[in-house]
Copies of this chain bind each other. A is one copy, B any other.
Amino acid sequence: MLDSDVVRQDFPILHQSINGKPLVYLDSAASSQKPLVVIQAMDEYYRAYHANVHRGIYQLSEKATEAYEAARRKVARFINARSWREIIFTRNATEAINLVAYAWGRHNITARDKILVTEMEHHANLVPWQQLAAETGAQLAYIPLDENFCCDMAAYEAMLDAHVKLVAITQMSNVLGTIVPVREFVARAHAVGALVLLDGAQGVPHLPTDVQSLDVDFLAASGHKMLGPTGSGFLYGKRHLLEEMPPFLTGGEMIRRVTWTGAEWNDLPHKFEAGTPAIAEAIGLGVAVDYLSRLGMENVRQHEVNLTRYALEQLSQVEGIRIYGPQQVERRGGAIAFNLDGLHAHDVAAILDREGIAIRAGHHCAMPLHQKLGVVATARASFYVYNEPAEIDRLVEALDMVRRLFER
């Protein structure tokens, strides 16, 4: 079991007060905080061995290269990729998805094809496909949600045919918390010859994720949502797919040879990493992955199941609250969207901030989903390894106060 009291010691940022009240950070779905080991690894890098990687014939550069590539292997092991060559470092999950939309999509999607996404996608896993569809004439279709905020699998099955070339789905909704049955999605997509891109921005930080057992073709994730630094994220792709794809960004590092008239590409994964990489960021992400592995992703998940169960129980006591998302903790993660009857989420978040409680309010980059929910904004509390039940109590108390303030 994960002991959040112990874990909290590792996160310097949590030990501060906001308006004289201890900070309660409930916005990890937007970006997680970083343990000291991650911060220190980057600090150490800059103080002791920063240099550009891969081509240096001196010790700083060799050490930097080793650390950078070791981080890639850690990430590969973390999601059980077959090879480190299947991991491409990106700035964030958004860039990872765009890489696929450009380097795979622009070369494989035609006007006859269909792309499926769910109704609860984050803009990062929606707008790139809208753009691809608009450019190629392909059709983008939405797999609907059922009344329990889960994907309607019968509808999905009915939408699948030989024209479907890509199914791009989130592993876990950043609004509803809904966990998607990825294996089922993949089996059915593969049966009609479609590829599956999994948006793991929310899933990878919170759920044990094994790309071989899930059998997804692409997986995008955000390093900064899984205890890693800003500017870090990655794309996993099955090797044969990545091999077949042309490069995306071009320039240094990603070439084998350049002549006056053209270029040959470097081996994977370098083919997709043009220019000086985000070295400190990759190293930091590697340390974050070590940290999560040490906690154990099963423990991380269990901790969040416990918190989410408690939160759902407690929040449902708040007068006039409406919670969006599945009630069963097995089917959901620890991002809980809600509204207080008659109040705008912004007002709720602003008053909570005065109480030292950081939650997010808005459309959470999922405007179509909010349209479906019939609201312009929701408030969202989200949990991670460092959160504890007492913080949920503080949230609930503060929400009661919000109610009282506006009812006065």
- Chain B residues, Cβ within 8 Å of A281: 230-231, 278, 281
Separation of A48 and B18 alpha carbons in the complex (Å): 11
Q: Is the CB of A92 within 8 A of B275?
A: yes
Residue of A95, A98, A258 with most partner-chain B CB within 10 A: A258
Instruction: Find out whether the CB atom of A222 lies under 8 angstroms from the CB atom of B260.
Output: no
Within 8 A of B (CB), among A307-348: 346
A74 within 8 A of B: no
Please name the residue on chain B nearest to A33 by beta carbon.
Answer: B50
Let me know if A396 is at the binding interface, CB within 8 A. Answer: no
Asked if A300 lies at the interface with its beta carbon under 8 angstroms from chain B, I say no
The yes or no answer to A361 lying at the interface (CB within 8 A) is: yes
- A123-140 Cβ-contact flags toward B at 8 Å (1 or 0): 111111011001000000
Bound: A255/B373 CA distance, A: 20
Chain B residue numbers with a CB within 8 Å of A23 are 60
**Cβ-based interface call for A353 (8 A):** yes
Please state if A49 and B13 are interface contacts (CB–CB under 8 Å): yes
A258 contact set on B, CB distance < 8 A: 123, 126-127, 130, 367-368
Q: A263 at interface (Cβ–Cβ under 8 A)?
A: yes
Interface centre among A25, A55, A127, A281, by most chain B C-beta atoms within 10 angstroms, is A127
Asked whether A92 lies within 8 Å of B276 as measured between CB atoms, the reply is yes
In the complex, what distance in Å separates the CA atom of A127 from the CA atom of B248? 11
CB distance from A69 to the nearest CB of B (A): 15
Q: Is the CB of A57 within 8 A of B130?
A: no
Per the 8 Å Cβ criterion, residues 99-149 of A in contact with B are 102, 122-128, 130-131, 134, 142
Q: How far is the CA of A271 from the CA of B338 in the complex (A)?
A: 29
Given A51-B27, A280-B231: A122 touches B358 (CB 8 Å cut-off): no
Whether A98 lies near B251 (C-beta < 8 A) is yes
Q: Which residues of B contact A299 (CB under 8 A)?
A: none
Instruction: Say yes or no for A406: interface residue by CB 8 A criterion.
Output: no
Is the Cβ of B55 less than 8 Å from the Cβ of A362? yes
- Whether A48 pairs with B252 at a CB distance below 8 angstroms is no
| Chain A 362-380 interface mask (CB, 8 Å, partner B; 1/0) | 1001011001000000000
A residues apposed to B, CB below 8 Å? 12-13, 16, 18-19, 23, 25, 27, 30-31, 33-34, 38-39, 42-43, 46-52, 55-61, 91-95, 97-98, 102, 122-128, 130-131, 134, 142, 222, 224, 229-233, 249-253, 255, 257-263, 274-281, 346, 349-350, 352-353, 357-362, 365, 367-368, 371
CB-CB nearest 9 A-B residue pairs: A94-B275, A231-B278, A124-B251, A252-B365, A94-B251, A231-B231, A30-B52, A58-B358, A127-B250
Interchain residue pairs with CB less than 8 A apart (22): A13-B49, A27-B52, A30-B52, A34-B50, A46-B229, A50-B230, A56-B360, A59-B353, A60-B358, A91-B91, A95-B249, A98-B249, A98-B251, A102-B102, A127-B258, A128-B250, A128-B251, A230-B277, A230-B281, A231-B278, A251-B365, A252-B365
Known contacts A123-B258, A134-B262, A231-B279; 4 further A-B pairs (Cβ under 8 A) = A13-B50, A34-B46, A95-B249, A131-B250
